[in-house]
Structure 1
C-alpha cells in the first residue's frame, strides 16, 4: 500500500474551530468562547486521516480579528521548524478565521522561507453547525497541500472546493459559503473529491526567496489605511501622520481618486516623508499610474486591495524607502 503524504495541520482558531450552543447556532457561536485545538478538530473529522498522514500542531485558538504581525512571524518560524523536523513533509495546512484569512495568507505568501505548499483554510459555519462547511473544507485543503502540483504556487486559500491565490482572493460576503472570490481573474483550480485540478497560476512573485525577512523583526513599520468618501477632508490622514505612520494607503474612490481636501492631506504626508500608496475601495481593478498621482508623489497599488496594499507597503518599508524601488516592488509582488 502506498503511504499517505504527510501534512501538518496548524490550528489558529476561527469559525473552523468554534463550537456553538447547538447545531442551529450559525451566527452567534463565538458567544460560547469554545474553540477546538488542532488535534480536536482532526478528531471530529476522521475522514481527514484517510487523505493524509496528519501532524497536528497546536498554536493558539483565537478569533481572526486577533491575528496580526506577531502571528505571521510566529507562523513563518513554525513552518520553518516543521519542515526541518519532518523532511518528508508534503505540505502544511493552517486553519484560520475568515475575517483576516486573506491578510495572513498574503503576508505569509511574501515572507515564508519554506518551499512546501502552505494552504490556509477556514469555514463560514462553525464545526458544530448543521451543514457546516468546516469538515469538507479541511479535507479539501489537506488534499491540496499534499498535491505535487501545488508546489511553487505561493500560499493558497481553499474553501468551498475552490483554490485561490493568496495575493488575489478576498472575502466578499458575511455569511454565504461562496464568500472567497478573486474578482478579476477567478480561481486557480478546484478540488473535486480526491481530484486537485489547476487551470492557471498567479504570475506575481512570492515566497520563498523574497527580500522580506520578518523572522527577527519586533514589528512592521506603521502603515495605516485612509478610506475615501464624499467630503473626506483629510482628518484621518493627518491623524495617521501624527500617530507616526511611515506609510499610508488611500482606499480611494474608483479608479483611484480622492476628494480635493483628502488629496491635499495626502500630499502633505508625502512632503513629510511618508510613503503614500493609492488603492481603491472598488474591490477590483488596477489603479492607473496617472500624472496626477505622480505630481503628488503617490504610488499606485496596482490591483491590490487596500488591506493587502498595506501589508506589501509595510514589508517594502523594511527594505527601502526609495520611491522608485517601492514602485518596482508593487509591480513585482
Structure 2
C-alpha cells in the first residue's frame, strides 16, 4: 500500500511540475482542406487577454502570465488549431499592447489604433470577416467603441477566454474556433460588432461581463443572445435595432482625442464634491450610475446642478444593470439624459462621441435614444 501511494505521489509531482507549452494536437484530426481558395478570408487580430496567456502548469487558471512566461502569439493559435483551416483562410495581425502593460491599463490610444486598423481592413475587398481577441475585463466596452466607429457591414467578432490557453479544460480553443465560424458566416454581416463566447453570440452594445471567473460570464442582461454557434451551424434569431457601424454618425472617424467624461457611483451618502472636483478639472460630461432605476444622492444632485450651470452634460445610468433608465417629468425638468439600459462604461463612450457633435443635452439625448 505504501509503495502504491509513493508511486502515485511521484507521478503527480512529475505531472504538475512539467512545463506546458501549448494545446496538444491529437493524431486523429478531421481531414484538413487542402484547397482553401473557396473559403472566406478571416483576419485574426490579437489584442491579447487571457486567451493569449500561458501559465506555469495546467491547473493554474487564475494566476497566469508574468515574468518569464511567454504570451501566446497569433500564429500559435493557428498552429494549435489546424481545424481552423476547414473554416476560413486565416491571416493574423498582432495589435497587442506592449508586454510591459497589463489589460487593466487600457488606454484610449488602444481604442484609436484598433478602430483605425479595423476601418482599413474593412475596406479591403479581400477580407470577408475579422476576429479580435481581447481581455474579458474590458472587452464589452472596447467592442462597443468599435460598434460605433467602424464603418463596415462585414462581420467583426470579439472573443476571449476565462482561462489561459494552457489551462485544463480551457475555454479558449472552442471560443476561438466558434468566433472564426461566426466571422466566416455571411449571416453575421450587417449586425454590427458581435461578441461570441461560450457558444453565445451577443451584440457589442448589449453584452456585459457578469462573472469574474465563470466561463458563462458574458450575456445580454435585458435582451439575451441574438444567435448561437452550435456544433452543426451558426444560427441567428433576431436583428439588433439600435444604430451601429454603417448607420453610426461616428463611423469611419479617427478621433485623436475625445472630450473628457467621468463616471460617478451612487451609494448611501455619496458626496457631490467628487463631481465638483471633476468639473473643476475640466470634464465636459459626467455619467452617474444611480441607485435603483437611476437616482443620484441628494449631494450628487446638487453637484449635478452646479455642473450643468457650467455646460456639463449629465447622463444617468442604473447600477442594477438591468432595465432602462426611463424618461420621467422630473428627469426632463432636471435636463438629465437617460442612459437607457447601457452600463456606465458604455454610456461614457457614447457620451464622449456625442459631445464631438453637440453639447446640447437634448441633442445628446437623441443619441442615447437611437444607439
TM range (shorter): over 0.9
Which position in structure 2 is the counterpart of 1:308?
Answer: 346
> Does the Cα contact within 8 Å between 1:64 and 1:101 map onto a contact in 2?
no
Instruction: Give, in angstroms, the shift of residue 214 of structure 1.
Output: 6.8
1:16-41 deviation per Cα after TM superposition (whole angstroms, max 9, x unaligned): 10011111110110334532222222
Which position in structure 2 is the counterpart of 1:127?
Answer: 165
- Taking a change above 3 Å as real, the CA distance of residues 215 and 71 of structure 1, as seen in their structure-2 partners, is farther
Which position in structure 1 is the counterpart of 2:263?
Answer: 225
Instruction: Give 2:205's match in structure 1, choosing from 155, 167, 178.
Output: 167
> Does the Cα contact within 8 Å between 2:222 and 2:322 map onto a contact in 1?
yes
Q: Does 1:9 align with 2:44?
A: yes
Q: How many residues align?
A: 332
Q: How far, CA to CA, are the matches of 1:28 and 1:272 in structure 2?
A: 46
Q: Which runs of 5+ in 1 are unaligned?
A: none
Q: How far, CA to CA, are the matches of 1:34 and 1:225 in structure 2?
A: 35
Which position in structure 2 is the counterpart of 1:40?
Answer: 76
Q: Secondary structure at the match of 2:292?
A: coil
Larger deviation, residues 28-37 vs 119-128: 28-37
Q: Secondary structure at the match of 2:47?
A: strand
Q: How far, CA to CA, are the matches of 1:225 and 1:183 in structure 2?
A: 21
Which position in structure 2 is the counterpart of 1:19?
Answer: 54
Instruction: Give, in angstroms, the shift of residue 69 of structure 1.
Output: 2.3
Instruction: Give, in angstroms, the shift of residue 239 of structure 1.
Output: 1.9
Larger deviation, residues 58-67 vs 15-24: 58-67
What TM-score, normalized to structure 1?
A: 0.95
- CA root-mean-square deviation: 1.6
Q: How far, CA to CA, are the matches of 1:213 and 1:162 in structure 2?
A: 26
Which position in structure 1 is the counterpart of 2:27?
Answer: none
Which position in structure 1 is the counterpart of 2:30?
Answer: none
Which position in structure 1 is the counterpart of 2:121?
Answer: 82
Q: Which runs of 4 or more aligned residues in structure 1 lie more than 4 Å from their structure 2 counterparts after TM superposition?
A: none
> Residues 111-260 of structure 1: matches in 2 within 5 Å?
111-212=149-250, 215-260=253-298
Instruction: Give, in angstroms, the shift of residue 42 of structure 1.
Output: 2.2
Instruction: Give, in angstroms, the shift of residue 46 of structure 1.
Output: 2.1
Q: How far, CA to CA, are the matches of 1:213 and 1:80 in structure 2?
A: 9
> Does the Cα contact within 8 Å between 2:122 and 2:151 map onto a contact in 1?
no
Which position in structure 2 is the counterpart of 1:328?
Answer: 366
Instruction: Give, in angstroms, the shift of residue 259 of structure 1.
Output: 1.4
Q: Secondary structure at the match of 1:89?
A: coil
Q: Secondary structure at the match of 1:156?
A: strand
> Does the Cα contact within 8 Å between 2:41 and 2:127 map onto a contact in 1?
yes
Q: Which runs of 5+ in 2 are unaligned?
A: 1-34
Which position in structure 1 is the counterpart of 2:142?
Answer: 104
Q: Secondary structure at the match of 1:3?
A: coil
Instruction: Give, in angstroms, the shift of residue 213 of structure 1.
Output: 5.0
Larger deviation, residues 288-297 vs 113-122: 288-297
Q: How far, CA to CA, are the matches of 1:175 and 1:225 in structure 2?
A: 25
Structure index of larger Rg? 2
Q: How far, CA to CA, are the matches of 2:300 and 2:206 in structure 1?
A: 27
Q: How far, CA to CA, are the matches of 1:64 and 1:201 in structure 2?
A: 31
